[in-house]
Homo-oligomer: A and B are copies of this chain.
Amino acid sequence: MKAYKIPEATVQRLSIYSRHLAQLISEGVITVSSGEIARGVGVSSAQVRKDLAYFGEFGTRGVGYNVQELYSHVMRILGLNHTWNVMIVGAGKLGSALAVYKGFEDRGFKVRSVLDVSEQRIGQQLGDLVVESLAFLEDRVSRENIDIGIITVPAAAAQEVTDKLIRAGVKAILNFSPRVLKVPDSVVLRNVDLSVNLEVLSFNLSFGYNLK
């Protein structure tokens, strides 16, 4: 499957470009230059062209990009041209917040199942979903065709839950627990540490550097 290396920062910027392009579509804009995209999202136009160049040739020199075509293309690159089925394991405060987070569904991530071990949490309503027992993990992964598992359990339980998800056939894990998880090469793992967002602010407050 490995083709060539795309920097993760490029993928994150593609995500930002796609939001900006969606905005332009809603404003009725037909064509856009790399310079206009760059100004709209706060990067250099060379960066925009370089990011897009990883995925082939786009646009017409002197005319720019057709907004709708570029948007569709970027969404396809990101794998956002269809819905992904998501399971959240751990219905504590963070898991519950993610279960009803509007931003996920807007981008094609549909939370289909929320599981927990706690008797207090099982049966709790979260939007359209009801928290179910972790004992149903394998059944729900199969029944709901779960693509992505989100881990919001305490650190001590995170590896065991990860192993269960992988045995059930889940190919991608988003880990919010502070535990470093082991997964086979065939599984995509991403660790989220929410404090990184505060650290970028802290850096700016301390040094007053302008971030690119």
Contact = CB atoms under 8 A, between A and B. Distances in A.
Interface of A: 1-9, 11-12, 14-15, 77-80, 84, 86, 92-94, 96-98, 100-104, 106-109, 147-148, 171-172, 174, 178, 188, 190, 192-212
Contacts of A207: 1, 3, 77, 79
A197 B190 contact: yes
B203 A77 contact: yes
A7 B211 contact: yes
Contacts of A194: 98, 101, 103-104, 192
A33 to B, nearest CB: 21
B78 A202 contact: yes
A165 to B, nearest CB: 13
A189 B74 CA distance: 26
B107 A199 contact: yes
A196 B192 CA distance: 11
A12 B200 contact: yes
Given A78-B199, A178-B103, A5 B204 contact: no
A102 B93 CA distance: 12
A148 B202 CA distance: 9
A197 to B, nearest CB: 5
A11 B202 CA distance: 10
A103 B201 contact: no
A-B interface, 6 closest residue pairs, ranked by CB to CB distance from nearest: A79-B206, A1-B208, A93-B97, A79-B202, A94-B97, A188-B204
B205 A188 contact: yes
B80 A202 contact: yes
A51 B70 CA distance: 32
A109 B198 CA distance: 8
Nearest to A54: B209
Nearest to A55: B207
With a 10 A CB-CB cut-off, give which of A148, A178, A211 has the most chain B CB atoms: A211
